Amino acid sequence: MVEVVNAVGSGFLNREFDLSVVAEDLGSAADFDPEKYPGMYIRFSEDSPLVTLYRTGKYIVTGADSLDKLEEANDKLLNLLCDNGIIDRSDVEWFEVQNLVCTANFDQDLNLSALAIGLGLEQTEYEPEQFPGLVYRNPDLESVILIFSTGKAVITGSSDLDEVVAASDNLIQELSRLQLN
DNA sequence: TAGTGTGTTTCTTATATAGGTCGTATCC
DNA sequence: GGATACGACCTATATAAGAAACACACTA
């Protein structure tokens, strides 16, 4: 069972912004401190995804726990900017998913040292003194999987949920083949 | 040697995972 | 004061973005 915990998307509005002016127009929803970071943060509520808007018109949405919520956050952003007269609908160029962070639970304790050998040392990184998880990069897939001794895992690096599921299924097959616990 | 140009790295944000370290708080 | 508990933060992973700070190469 794969669960999305963070979806990241980016988009482009065909317009340059004076972020100081935009921050004033948006009020408390916006947080802009150019000395700290060149992007302006926009949040719709305390637990909503975070939007980072740049001077060039490009923006990033992070913190959505589903693809639907990512799209919803993008719609809210565009409505907010349109309603405040900051952009026109014709300024919207594109928006696409860039990265998904998902969790998975294989419901079995794992011997990560043996798993690293079984999966192949050239495809894995396991240094427990540095980080308790095993990093697995399947050359046939875009995703990177962090595998922990508890049987839980983090799958990241892909923009396609089907590919994430495929990566999870592939690992389940490998665990079954290796029969490690 | 100084100036310019190019390229690389770091910063920031979100998020799960887990082990280790550190600081603070509470209790005996 | 010592022991324990707890929270915060670090480590690693991916990704986008712009700006600043670097490092390095090249030319005058």
Query: What pLDDT is stored for residue A152 in this prediction?
Result: 93
Superfamily for domain range A3-99: TATA-Binding Protein (3.30.310.10)
Q: For residue A37, give the nucleotide whose C1' atom is nearest its CA.
A: B12
Share of chain A above pLDDT 70, in %: 99
pLDDT band at A66 (very low <50, low <70, confident <90, very high): very high
Is the CB of residue A62 inside 7 Å of nucleic acid strand C?
yes
Query: What pLDDT is stored for residue A180 in this prediction?
Result: 59
Question: How do the domains of chain A map onto residue ranges?
Answer: 3-99, 106-177
Is the CB of residue A37 inside 7 Å of nucleic acid strand C?
yes
What is the DSSP track for chain A? -EEEEEEEEEEEESS---HHHHHHHHGGGEE--TTT-SSEEEESSTTSPEEEE-TTSEEEEEEESSHHHHHHHHHHHHHHHHHTTS--GGGEEEEEEEEEEEEEE-SS---HHHHHHHH-TTTEE--TTT-SSEEEE-TTSS-EEEE-TTSEEEEEEES-HHHHHHHHHHHHHHHHHHT--
Q: CATH topology for A106-177?
A: TATA-Binding Protein (3.30.310)
